Structure 1
Amino acid sequence: MRNHQPTITFFAYLLILCLTLADAVTDASETLNHLRMGEREWDTFPETPEDSALSHTFVLDNTIQPQCFSLRQIDVKQAWNITLNEKPLGRLVRDENDMVIVMDLPRELLVAGTNKLYISQTGRPVPDDIYLGELELHSGTRSEYLSQCTVPVQIVDKTTGQPTPCRLTVLNENGTLMSVGNNSTDTTAVRPGIVYTSNGKVNLQLPPGKYQIIAGRGVEWSIDHQWITISDNVLSPVKLAITREVDTKGYISCDTHVHTYTYSRHGDATLDERLVTIAGEGIELPIATDHNLHIDYAPRGNELG
């Protein structure tokens, strides 16, 4: 493998358009809590957890009305329910990665006075040591909070100069996956801190802050990255270039076990999202293994280009 150093090329005249949304943080709990219900998952975790659930209270009056909250989660593998004032609100993301998630606080569930967010494992007590914390309340909705700034990003093949499919990883200044305001489209597949693009172009939606944007395309390609700091009316052009590092002539990149939620009701990726991720990871021969069905991804793939 060649010793390839990531190259950062500035994309002239691109403007990061930031929406002027005042984000009033009304409450914060900055510590990470080690939670577990039942037996210890691995002996690498502390023998005794801090608690079996996370309970966070906040007081509202008629002048301050938060509409969403952000929360850092680490090593979540089982189902953990979130309630607001004893009403179902959602669940943590079942993902072991260190990530910041953002959820709406429905106005009809909030009350004047003391409100309570409660997060606990549901179902039978399968061992699951997790870390939660750094909870913050925000004045806007989830969409408004995460979409304050628009960051145009283009990823090209360094050899040809042409846009290339890839996977973008978005980390905050602490190295934690940061949720974005984007939703999946016919050219993107979005999860917390991860955006796949099938055409090498995406306008990332993010709140003001400092982030590292990393581009890659599976194990055969190099990576490129750039740190950006975004705020109102700040120029921060982003253009990333990656190149094939491994000579695979005579071989094909294959995934022999591909599911979609569309057909298998297994996992969480729709057919369109799966096709975008296949392109973004450089898979040349995906084999559909949807449950008890003969599925051909090619027709929809051709429609998406």
Structure 2
Amino acid sequence: MKFEVTILGSSSATPVFNRNPTAQLLNSNEKFYLIDCGEGTQQQLIRFGIKASKIDMVFISHLHGDHYFGLIGLLSTMHLNGRIKPFLIFAPAALKDILEIQFKYSETHLKYELEFYAIDADEPKLIYENTDLTVETIVLNHRIPCTGFRFTQKKRLRRVIVEKLEAEQIQTEYYPMLKRGLDITMPDGRVLLNEEYTIDSDAPRSYCYCSDTLADGTYEHMLNGCTTLYHEATFMDDMLERANITHHSTALQAAQIAKRNNVRNLIIGHFSSRYKSLAPLLEEARTVFPEVELAIEGETYTI
């Protein structure tokens, strides 16, 4: 089952020569979820061969421009390209006003419907659910209201051992019951024990996204045991005072958070433009948590 994230932008605050403002694309079984949409996101989609038409929703963490300035352009391009299916937006309530005034003064009337769902940063909440996964907010501590997101795949049905069932001439009409974990009594009195004819599905995977935050520990309960954590690492730890003033985190803090919360893998990003080379941030994080990678634009990470 595919569960992977592609980095579209990894820079903080401003774009630099080879790094763009924050944006990511999560692919869960060919359903695509855009996470933040910094300036230039649609250019990055084109650059990496990703069709915007496949994306049906976006999750915006907060209203600093480097996390949403690319959205109006993306929505407008979808309109010009003839999109007709609805597009879902999960974001702070004020973004609705921002979009409406942009469309008002450009006299743009979208050919498709925008479904807007306001999220707040008061407490963690389930904000979206389908047959594939759930999305919950993670309340972060930034200079303005800000949330991260936890994407958790749902447990799959058990997998039937087709070869064994066919060899024993068990009709396919019984397969759905076996997949649900039931034992079955056949018309001839035979009992099919579920554990003998099925295999348990893989444990559900989860992806936690922490965009901009002071590393104060208040949100860590939402990260516990997640498969892959993306955590901002704007600065190195020698800039801790600056990180605290701006309500950001360091690479060392991100690694400590991953270690404390039994995270399997860590991706760090949202790098300050002061760093031309990102190797020192990676080295700093690995002193605490070895299973860490840099968020590199265009790279896809399996969760």
Fold in common (TM above 0.5): no
Using the size of structure 2 for normalisation, the TM-score is 0.24
Flag the structure with larger Rg.
2
Using the size of structure 1 for normalisation, the TM-score is 0.24
Higher relative contact order (CA 8 A, sep 6+): 1
